Amino acid sequence: MQGCRLVFTGLGRVELEPFGIDPPGPGQVLYRTLVTQLSAGTETAKFVGLQQVEFPWVPGYAAVGEVLECGPGVTSPQVGERVYTYGPHASLGVTQVLHARVPDGLAAEAAVFARLGTVALTALRVSDVELGDRVAVLGLGVVGNLAAQLFQLAGCEVFGLETDAFRRERAAACGVRHVVDATVEGGVPEVKALTCGRGCECVVEAVGRPQLVETACALAAPRGEVVWVGSPRGEWVTDVTPILNQVHLWGNGCLTFKGAHEWRIPVRPSDGLKHSLESHAELLLRLLAEGRLATEPLRTHLAEPAAAQGLYEALRDRKPGHLGVLFDWRGMA
Q: What share of the chain in percent tops pLDDT 70?
A: 100
Q: For residues 327 and 38, is the Cβ–Cβ distance under 8 A?
A: yes
Please give the model's pTM, rounded to 2 decimal places.
Answer: 0.96
Topology alike, domains 2-113+298-328 and 118-263: no
Domain spanning 2-113+298-328: CATH 3.40.50.300: no
Q: What is the pLDDT of residues 105-130, one digit of tens each?
A: 999 999 999 999 999 999 999 999 99
When pLDDT is averaged across residues 205-227 and rounded to a whole number, the result is 96
Q: Could you state, in order of their start, the residue ranges of all structural domains in the chain?
A: 2-113+298-328, 118-263
- Stretch among 16-20, 167-171, 250-254 having the lowest mean pLDDT: 250-254
- State residue 331's pLDDT score: 87
Instruction: Judge whether 232 and 238 are in contact, CB under 8 Å.
Output: no
Asked if the bond preceding 56 is cis, omega within 30° of 0, the reply is yes
For residues 37 and 114, give the distance between their C-alpha atoms in angstroms, rounded to a whole number: 10
Among 1-15, 52-66, 164-178, 240-254, name the one with the lowest average pLDDT.
Answer: 240-254
* pLDDT score of 333: 59
Cα 18 to Cα 196: distance, rounded to the nearest angstrom: 59
pLDDT class of 22 with cuts at 50, 70, 90: very high
Q: Write the pLDDT tens digit of every residue in 274-295.
A: 999 999 999 999 999 999 999 9
Q: Is 151 helix (H, G, I), strand (E, B) or coil?
A: helix
Q: Is the pLDDT of residue 204 over 80?
A: yes
Mean pLDDT, rounded, of the chain: 95
AA letter at 67: V
The domain over range 118-263 is classified in CATH as 3.10.150.10: no
Q: What is the CA radius of gyration of the chain?
A: 20
